[in-house]
């Protein structure tokens, strides 16, 4: 414990505009998560995942403030996360997320309807999932975590070598089981729909729309085709040495990354340069580096 606090006070993160941007993203994400909880999930008795879901269940029986319970429940997890996942950056950003989320949840805001925005469980699950997912995505883009399930899942992955996806499934399954016993099994099923929608929205926001296409080309005209892609399309090309499985002959493969809009032009270039080429086009979630989003990140 002494070492924990020593690291907190000794560490002095260097200020930068990127750091400020990260914290603003985390702040906005926490606010959206709290909004979703207050106007969609709590009024409809749809349990969130992790510590928030457990806090909802305890609130149902005791009336204790949800935000306060989220904060208290995350304190030991923050220390555990520091121990296993390491680093002041992780602890400080996650602590900021937890604190702001807890405040937003319990902050008295009279303009928010106490009985929620809708009585329809389907609408509550869908909109609650989308709004909270956007919030999660913003937190992830700010290089933070939302605490709770995030910490538990990563610690389980580190401690028991359990895949992170299975860790999330395990922790959320426990909460959904308790939610079914507390609220109803029907509402627990709607809550599972919300968790799925939230995950999709979070992934979309955190990864952005920078979906690109990768192309692997087997050609008998590698030099000529390389020139056409480099100067005709303006994209870089990587040459990979290979051997044909059927012919057992040495040959060169071209690998390049293009945007979705550039795929037709790439097909036309390959078809005109070497109609006998073999090309495979795949999907990549993100491209970083020259010609795409910068890899340089400020700390």
Q: What would the pLDDT profile of 117-165 be if each residue is shown by its tens digit?
A: 999 999 999 999 999 999 999 998 888 888 777 777 767 766 666 665 5
The CATH number of the domain holding residue 267 is: 3.30.70.120
For 236-285, give the DSSP string. --EEEEEE-TTT--EEEEEEEEE-GGGHHHHHHHHHHH-TT-EEEEEEES
Residue range 210-227: mean pLDDT, rounded:
89
Residues 232, 131 share a domain? no
Residue range 177-189: mean pLDDT, rounded:
94
| Long-range own/partner contacts, residues 178-187 (CB < 8 A, 24 or more apart) | 178/47, 178/53, 178/54, 178/57, 179/47, 179/53, 179/56, 179/57, 182/47, 182/57, 182/60, 182/61, 183/45, 183/46, 183/47, 183/60, 184/45, 186/121, 187/44, 187/45, 187/46, 187/47, 187/121
Would 248 be classed as within a structural domain?
A: yes
**Measured CA distances, 65 to 60, 61, 68, 75, 225 (Å):** 10, 11, 5, 16, 65
Residues 159, 124 share a domain? yes
Residues 69, 26 share a domain? yes
* pLDDT for res 4: 46
- Which domain, by its residues, includes 242? 212-284
Residues 107, 125 share a domain? yes
Output 87 or 186, whichever has higher pLDDT.
Answer: 186
pLDDT grade for 209, boundaries at 50, 70 and 90: low
Would 298 be classed as within a structural domain?
A: no
* pLDDT for res 5: 46
Would 244 be classed as within a structural domain?
A: yes
Output 283 or 114, whichever has higher pLDDT.
Answer: 283
Residues 216, 105 share a domain? no
Residue range 266-271: mean pLDDT, rounded:
91
Residues 188, 173 share a domain? yes
Residue 28 · residue 21 · CB < 8 Å: no
* pLDDT for res 83: 66
Q: What percent of the chain has pLDDT over 90?
A: 44
Last residue of a domain, one of 179, 207, 235: 207
Residues 279, 255 share a domain? yes
Average pLDDT, the chain: 84
Would 290 be classed as within a structural domain?
A: no
Last residue of a domain, one of 166, 185, 207: 207
Lowest-confidence range among 40-44, 61-65, 201-205?
201-205
The Cβ of residue 137 has, within 10 Å, a number of other Cβ atoms equal to 24
Residues 203, 97 share a domain? yes
Residue range 247-262: mean pLDDT, rounded:
88
| Long-range own/partner contacts, residues 237-241 (CB < 8 A, 24 or more apart) | none
Which two tokens mark 161? Answer: 């070598």
Angle at 249 between CA 246 and CA 253, to 5 degrees: 95
Count structural domains, the chain.
2
Residues 137, 59 share a domain? yes
Residues 23, 152 share a domain? yes
What is the model's pTM?
A: 0.75
Residues 166, 232 share a domain? no
Task: For tokens 């906005």, name the residue.
Answer: 28
Output 155 or 219, whichever has higher pLDDT.
Answer: 219
């Amino acid at each position: 414990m002494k070492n924990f606090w020593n690291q907190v006070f000794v560490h002095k993160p260097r200020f930068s505009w990127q750091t400020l941007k990260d914290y603003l993203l985390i702040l906005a994400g926490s606010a959206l998560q709290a909004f979703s909880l207050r106007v969609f999930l709590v009024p409809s008795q749809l349990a969130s995942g992790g510590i928030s879901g457990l806090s909802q269940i305890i609130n149902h029986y005791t009336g204790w403030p949800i935000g306060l319970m989220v904060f208290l429940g995350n304190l030991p997890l923050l220390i555990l996360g520091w121990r296993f996942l390491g680093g002041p950056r992780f602890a400080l950003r996650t602590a900021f997320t937890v604190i702001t989320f807890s405040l937003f949840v319990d902050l008295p805001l009279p303009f928010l309807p106490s009985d929620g925005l809708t009585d329809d469980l389907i609408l509550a699950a869908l909109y609650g999932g989308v709004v909270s997912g956007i919030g999660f995505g913003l937190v992830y883009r700010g290089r933070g975590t939302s605490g709770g399930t995030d910490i538990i899942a990563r610690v389980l992955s580190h401690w028991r070598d359990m895949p992170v996806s299975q860790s999330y499934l395990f922790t959320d399954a426990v909460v959904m089981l308790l939610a079914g016993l507390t609220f109803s099994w029907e509402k627990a099923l709607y809550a599972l729909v919300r968790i799925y929608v939230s995950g999709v929205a979070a992934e979309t926001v955190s990864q952005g729309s920078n979906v690109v296409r990768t192309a692997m080309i087997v050609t008998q005209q590698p030099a000529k085709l390389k020139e056409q892609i480099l100067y005709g399309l303006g994209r870089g090309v990587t040459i990979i040495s290979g051997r044909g499985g059927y012919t057992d002959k040495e040959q060169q493969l071209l690998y390049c990354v293009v945007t979705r809009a550039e795929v037709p032009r790439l097909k036309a270039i390959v078809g005109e340069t070497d109609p006998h080429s073999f090309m495979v086009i795949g999907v990549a979630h993100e491209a970083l580096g020259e010609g795409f989003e910068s890899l340089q990140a400020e700390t």
